[in-house]
Amino acid sequence: MIKIVLYEDNPQLREGLFLLLNGSDGFTVVGAFSNPTNIVSQYNSLKPNVILMDIDMPETTGIEGLKMLREVSTDVKILMLTVFDDNQNVFEAIKNGANGYILKKTPPAKLLEYIQEANTGGAPMSSSIATQVLKMFSAMPNPGDKQQDYKLSERETEVLQLLVNGYSYKMIAAEMFIAIDTVRSHIKKIYEKLHVNSKSEAVAKAFKGKMFS
């Protein structure tokens, strides 16, 4: 059972998400709030697996809530919800440890799939947002404009390339003919060598470090 906490200031949308998730097998909503002002204490008491967080909320924004929670936990999966796929919020969310970034107009079945993907270590993004992220990071200047060497093995480099291409852990395992546990092991080592904590950060660093052409 995936335990979920919702942060959404629109009461109709919050109620709609609550009913959708609680009515779906394998999901339960353990908390629903209009803003993340008390997110740390709520996380500590409710212990969710996944948090769905609106970007634009009164009192405390989703980005501010994300920053506060990441100071106490890097384990919980946080998916940002937004109406618009604007670059600045996408960048801020990824930089501060969001596990995914999805549009509010996402169809219900796809939303459930995204939550499951995040819960198992993926980094779901609506396709229009993923396209912007790739463009944004590939265009970012890098001091010296030279490739960074993080001492990745040939196998780790291949796994990272597939992550950059948007592959899930399951797809990487199938593509490389290896077990999914082996994929997880490679990714853990990649995170350590790149000094990152999430797939989105690893992809961002790969682009900023010009590790792939």
- CATH, domain range 2-135: 3.40.50.2300
Alpha-carbon distance 150 to 208, whole Å?
Answer: 12
pLDDT in tens, 70-79: 999 988 999 9
Q: Residue 177's pLDDT band (boundaries 50, 70, 90)?
A: very high
Alpha-carbon distance 18 to 96, whole Å?
Answer: 26
Share of the chain above pLDDT 90, in %: 49
Q: Cα angle at 155 between 135 and 171, to 5 degrees?
A: 65
Orientation angle between helical segments 62-70 and 39-46, nearest 10 degrees:
60
Which amino acid would we find at residue 97? G
pLDDT in tens, 147-162: 567 888 999 989 988 8
Cβ atoms of 188 and 121 within 8 Å: the answer is no
The answer on pLDDT for 133 being more than 90 is no
- CATH, domain range 142-208: 1.10.10.10
Going from the C-alpha of 3 to that of each of 24, 78, 109, the distances in angstroms are 12, 12, 17
Q: Residue 145's pLDDT band (boundaries 50, 70, 90)?
A: very low
Query: Domain limits of the chain?
Result: 2-135, 142-208
Residue whose C-alpha is closest to residue 97's, from 131, 119, 74, 116: 74
Cβ neighbours for 7, distance < 8 A, ≥ 6 positions apart: 33, 34, 35, 36, 39, 51, 52, 53, 54, 57, 62, 65
Residue whose C-alpha is closest to residue 61's, from 130, 16, 9, 111: 9
The answer on pLDDT for 212 being more than 70 is no
Which has more pLDDT, 136 or 16?
16
pLDDT in tens, 26-56: 999 999 999 999 999 999 999 999 999 999 8
pLDDT in tens, 80-116: 998 866 667 877 888 888 988 888 888 999 999 999 9
Which has more pLDDT, 173 or 84?
173
Half-sphere exposure of 68 (CA within 13 A, CB side): 17
DSSP string covering 31-81: EEES--TTHHHHHHHH--SEEEEESS-SSS-HHHHHHHHHTT-SSSEEEEE
Question: Phi and psi at residue 84, in whole multiples of 5°?
Answer: -115, 145
Residue 113 pLDDT: 93
